[in-house]
Amino acid sequence: MHAGMFTEMGDLLVDELDTSAGVVNDVDADIIAAIGGAVRLRAVTDHLLAVLAAQAERVGVAKRSGMKTRELLVANGMAPVAADRCLRVGRAVDALASPQRYSSNGFLSGEHVDAVVRGVAHVSTRTKQPVGSEAITTVESTLVGQAISGASPAELMALARAVAVEAAPAGDTIPAAEDATLNEMGWHQVDDGRLQGTFDLDVLTGERLICAVDTASRPRPLPDGTPDPRSAGRRRADAFGQLLQCGVRAAADDAMVSAPRTEVMVTVPLEDRNTARLGWLGSISDRAAKLVGCDAGITRVDLDQHGVPTAVSATKRLFTGAVRKAVIVRDQCCVKCGAPASWTDCHHIVHHADGGPTILDNGCLLCRSCHTAVHHQGWEVVIGHDRHP
């Protein structure tokens, strides 16, 4: 089959399936039959995309285009999550005969095939049996049979976990839910520059995470006493960011008073401050660059118009030692919401990037969410006549 046939088939389907005036008549049986046909068509398309993704990865198409295969899929219109699933299935489907047979004819959806693939991989890892062995082939057949019988993708994964626990090698007494060797974390940057990720954690690590985030994400009234306007999801995200700040600060040599040991490098072109960039995640606004500059290890890199470094400054650690101690003694807590001092950054009231000095009268304590609010949401801090913020 040559490549042009796919384009021709796609154009034909678009022409035939003109949805502007409805696909079928308003008859229950016709609508139900059309839904079933469309679902099967989607399943076949999912299978075709998985096969093409695996082929593109095998022959190096994406690499020659200057990107990863996942990026190639996203660039051609796939959602990031769908691209991940497509690649996962494409890499595994050749080794798994049953899912390939039932996905190629549209009998199993892409989500069900993905659940079978993930379930087989989980059991293989847990039992230390290779894919293709008799034991794993039995698991594969069981999962496919359950999918055909109507089990949901979530139910297939639950079954795979149960099988993995039951079939664990003799003497392996650690339940899968408690096995930290199975932990995984991944992330990727989406088109708007934000970071999205997934994690798969043992129950103890997961419990620590939930307890820590729950404690740090409780609603905090605004300074005027009105209720916390943040959603629960926003509070949890703010709490997670705060935990990261506390964690890196606790690892510093003088943990009680120093800034985080983690160094964030921000490059700022001399001619255009609005094109500042982070080392990992790319462009940020000038406001975000100033936020980073408040309480971090800062290395200044001057770039010429061609993006070539012209000078690199020595790293500066801000609000450390005696100055930081003095700010903590004076403020005791976040000056906006009252969060504990151990949660806080030292904020430059006049931004360090604007020449603000690192002295007591130009600093105050702000927790991460309040620090972000001051930089991005119009809040201002001033020092009163009593030299308190």
Among 115, 103, 117, which residue's Cα sits nearest to residue 47?
103
Separation CA 128–CA 164 (nearest Å): 10
- Model pLDDT for residues 329-375, shown as the tens digit of each residue: 899 888 988 888 877 888 888 887 677 888 888 899 988 778 878 87
Which positions ≥6 away from 246 have C-beta within 8 Å? 342, 343
Does the pTM exceed 0.75?
A: no
User: What are the extents of the domains in the chain?
Assistant: 3-169, 241-376
Q: Give yes or no for residue 139 having a pLDDT over 70.
A: yes
DSSP H or E run through 319: none
Name residue, tokens 């600060």.
Answer: 249
Contact of 106 with 44, CB cutoff 8 Å? yes
d(CA 245, CA 165): 37
Task: Report CA-CA distances (Å) from 279 to 152, 283, 299, 314.
Answer: 41, 9, 12, 17
Residues 23, 42: Cα–Cα separation, whole Å: 16
Nearest 5°: the CA angle 274, 276, 277 is: 145
* Residue 14 three-state SS: helix
pLDDT tens-place string over residues 145-164? 898 888 888 888 888 888 87
What is Dmax (Cα atoms) for the chain?
81
Q: For residues 120 and 136, give the distance between their C-alpha atoms in angstroms, rounded to a whole number.
A: 7
pLDDT at residue number 258:
44
Q: Which amino acid is at 64?
A: R
Element (H, E) at 46: helix 28-59
Q: What is the pLDDT of residues 34-64, one digit of tens each?
A: 888 888 888 888 888 888 888 888 888 888 8
Residue type, 376: H
Q: 280-330, pLDDT tens digit by residue? A: 666 666 666 666 666 555 566 666 677 677 666 655 556 767 888 889 889
**Tokens encoding 151:** 């089990």
Q: 270-299 burial by CB neighbour count: b if 16+ within 10 A, else e? A: eeeeeebbbeeeeebeeebbbbbbbbbbbb
> What is residue 380's three-state secondary structure?
coil
